[in-house]
Amino acid sequence: MNQRETPSEITTTAALLARRQRVLGSGYRLFYEEPLHVVRGEGVWLVDHQGKRYLDVYNNVASVGHCHPAVVEAMARQSAQLNTHTRYLHAAIVDFAEDLLSEFPAELNNLMLTCTGSEANDLALRIARHTTGGTGILVTRWAYHGVTSALAELSPSLGDGVVRGSHVKLIEAPNTYRQPGAFITSIREALAQMQQEGIRPAALLVDTLFSSDGVFCAPQGEMAQAAALIRQAGGLFIADEVQPGFGRTGEAMWCFARHGVVPDLVSLGKPMGNGHPIAGLVGRSALFDAFGRDVRYFNTFGGNPVSCQTAHAVLRVIREEQLQQNALRVGQYLRQGLQRLAQNFPLIGDIRAYGLFIGVELVNDRESKAPASESTLQVVNAMRQRGVLISATGPAANVLKVRPPLVFQEEHADLFLTTLRDVLAVIGSHRE
């Protein structure tokens, strides 16, 4: 037995899967047709129970790389000293809040910490509804914003089994590949429908890179126009930066900055603690003050010292290792490599690359743009078999989702591109 392995780590995958299903039930889902049994992580690599290494080209949660030593050390150090909630004074939450807010426009000058992005978005909804007096929420047609009851009702990507909220209106993502211009038109139509139904708007809530919709960046000017439309109707503009934030798009720390617009509220999550459960909501102090005067809000673990020290270490690593700049450089390298592949593989219909967040849309033919959903599933699973981990997204699940840790380098990009080329050479010859 490897000294690092425990008896549970050498359990066969089939036996572990059977135990998991027995005690956890059927509510969970696993990645890949052949589930991956991982026991260790380091940088851009995950290691399974048999010692095989997998290149991680998907997990943005470990934003600065799996088990980054500086993050692990900060977490362990504070764990050995104190961990409690935010109703005691402690420097860790204040130090972190001041430093994090320095990365935002001056208007966004308050931070409330939570444990998950779902909690952050849930708090954003509560603040929006309380301060505007409205109830109506606009989200994109295949959005995902969280798993609380309130968030599930406005996350249509969770499937038809989740009933949409009665005051939730769906709008089109800025799909420049299939529906250019539909984003703004659909916002106007949704607001007009709300007015006809007597629904007062509370907010437009969008993932600023429309990750679940297929990875899109709104054309220049459209995001600002969208924010203006919801504000004119009396609502707030909420930017969900849970997936694209923390320098991932390369050009700026936050994706909303690409559009020259300042949101009213910004939700943060997943990458904030590099796997440790910390998230938050940044916003205008006037909104937080108005909410706080009337509503008692408390989150036991949100903003605890261990979480804050961990997140602060992540922020320092992003700066010190220049990971935003790395995302821009390596992202451009990846985009160029994918464009070369597209010249040889017509299965690739469109490439949408924004730093280290890339969507590669697969189609049966480029003229009809018919989604190649089955081929996409085959690609994802074939890549996994060859030791490279990616996923798929979009309404038809035909968009390869490429979203590696920010420490991803050109040598890793080469391995990804070579493996994808080999897989497409096989799968591309067996079209749907």
All structural domains of the chain with their residue ranges: 31-60+323-430, 69-321
Distances (CA, A) of 18 to 13, 22, 38: 9, 6, 16
CA atoms 213, 215, 221, 227: torsion sign: positive
Residue 426 above 70 pLDDT? yes
Q: Tell me the pLDDT band of 29, cut-offs 50, 70 and 90.
A: confident
Beta pairing partners, 171: 140
Q: Tell me the pLDDT band of 3, cut-offs 50, 70 and 90.
A: very low
What's the confidence (pLDDT) of residue 298? Answer: 87
Mean pLDDT of the chain: 94
Query: Phi, psi at residue 50, to the nearest 5°?
Result: -105, 5
pLDDT in tens, 96-136: 999 999 999 999 999 999 999 999 999 999 999 999 999 99
Query: C-alpha angle 4/8/14, rounded to 5°?
Result: 125
Residue 1 above 50 pLDDT? no
Task: State the average pLDDT over residues 385-409.
Answer: 98
What's the confidence (pLDDT) of residue 432? Answer: 47
User: Measured in whole angstroms, how far is the alpha carbon of residue 217 from the centre of its chain?
Assistant: 14
Helices 373-385 and 410-427 pack at an angle, to 10 degrees, of 130
Q: Which CATH code is given to the segment(s) 69-321?
A: 3.40.640.10
Q: Tell me the pLDDT band of 429, cut-offs 50, 70 and 90.
A: low
Q: Tell me the pLDDT band of 319, cut-offs 50, 70 and 90.
A: very high
What's the confidence (pLDDT) of residue 28? Answer: 84
Task: State the average pLDDT over residues 39-46.
Answer: 97
Task: State the average pLDDT over residues 221-241.
Answer: 98
pLDDT in tens, 166-194: 899 999 999 999 999 999 999 999 999 99
Q: Hey, what CATH topology would domain 31-60+323-430 get?
A: Aspartate Aminotransferase, domain 1 (3.90.1150)
What's the confidence (pLDDT) of residue 160? Answer: 86
User: Measured in whole angstroms, how far is the alpha carbon of residue 44 from the centre of its chain?
Assistant: 17
